[in-house]
Amino acid sequence: MTSDTGASHISSRDNPLLKDLRKLAQDPGAYRKLGRIWLEGDHLCRAALARGVKPAIAVFSESFWPQAPAEWARDAGKTVVVSDDLLRGVSGLESPAPMGFVLELPARPELLADAPSVVLDRLQDAGNAGSILRSAAAFGFTQVIALKGTAALWAPKVLRAGMGAHFGLRLIEGVEAEALDALTVPLLATSSHRGDWLHKADLPHPCAWLMGHEGQGVSAALEARATHHIRIAQPGGEESLNVAAAAAICLHASGAALSAK
């Protein structure tokens, strides 16, 4: 490793940082072991900076480094320049990005009892989880509670699907259903077969929407905790909706109902 103009240059594939980056980019649970997060690409990095997040390390490819915005390196605790081939070897993407940030994993925040919330019950698909985070942020739901068995929220695929929403949310993951006892807001369970029709329901706000497993839906134990059961009209006759699509519809309905009051 060499250093000039404040940036360290890495030329060895066996460099410890590159080994960690490969784990963070390709192993969904690596961030829990390493206590760090890898943001790949300028969109996610810009979203983090816009929320006041300071990267521990800014990583640039050699070809991109001369044109990198000065503030990206200035805001980082450390700047590293890596050969293009080595940085491509880190990536888990088909089209690797020429830069990224390493962030310290945020401490898990305390659960806020009265916050507008979304509860994820054993969601397995990273794309669904990230999409729901994005919808939550868009429609004013500030807290996401991921029960045990849900996809890792800071995993690379969830980060990419979230498109920066992570940095505007309180993310509480890996908790048991009993943690929901601390909530003072109504719990709304989605259902395909019972409850009030969403377009006719008087939706409470703030509230906590319960979004269940892709195949099994909300668990029976969690459904029993709900104060409201809601179903979405599907005049086209489909049996069910993708959970991310259902979440977007429900969260939008809540936001629209609040705006109309």
Which residues of the chain does CATH 3.30.1330.30 include?
2-104
pTM (predicted TM-score): 0.92
Cβ proximity of 25 and 38 under 8 Å? yes
Query: Taking 50 as the threshold, does the pLDDT of residue 44 lie above it?
Result: yes
**Does the pLDDT of residue 145 top 70, yes or no?**
yes
Does residue 260 register a pLDDT over 70? no
Residue range 116-124: mean pLDDT, rounded: 97
Helices (H), the chain: 16-26, 30-34, 42-50, 70-74, 84-90, 126-138, 156-162, 220-225, 243-260
Question: What pLDDT is stored for residue 1 in this prediction?
Answer: 46
- pLDDT tens digits along 126-141: 999 999 999 999 999 9
Statement: residue 261 has pLDDT above 70: no
Task: Give 200-246 pLDDT, tens digit per residue.
Answer: 999 999 999 999 998 888 999 999 999 999 999 888 877 678 999 99
DSSP 8-state code for residue 175: E
- Closest to 135 in 3D by CA, of 52, 47, 247, 38: 247
Looking at residue 89, its pLDDT comes to 92
Structure tokens at 238: 């489909």
CATH of 2-104, one of 3.30.1330.30, 3.40.47.10, 3.90.45.10, 1.10.10.10: 3.30.1330.30
pLDDT above 80 (res 62): yes
Mean pLDDT of the chain: 92
pLDDT of amino acid 178 = 95
Give start-end residues of each CATH 3.40.1280.10 domain in the chain: 117-260
Please give the pLDDT value at position 4.
Answer: 47
Per DSSP, 127 falls in state: H
Report long-range pairs for 14-22 (Cβ below 8 Å, ≥24 apart).
Answer: 17/57, 17/80, 18/82, 18/86, 18/89, 18/90, 21/59, 21/90, 21/100, 21/102, 22/89, 22/90
Interval 93-116 mean pLDDT: 95
Mean pLDDT over 97-126 rounds to 96
Looking at domain 117-260, its CATH class is alpha beta
Among the listed residues 186, 177, 9, the one whose alpha carbon sits nearest the alpha carbon of residue 86 = 9
- Does residue 98 surpass a pLDDT of 60? yes
How much of the chain exceeds pLDDT 70, in percent?
96
Beta bridge partners of 144: 118, 171
Q: Helix, strand, or coil here: 218?
A: coil
- Residue identified by tokens 């990419």 is 160
Query: What pLDDT, on a 0 to 100 scale, did the predictor assign at position 92?
Result: 79
Residue pLDDT, tens place only, 2-40? 444 578 999 899 999 999 999 999 999 999 999 999 999
Which pLDDT belongs to residue 258? 65
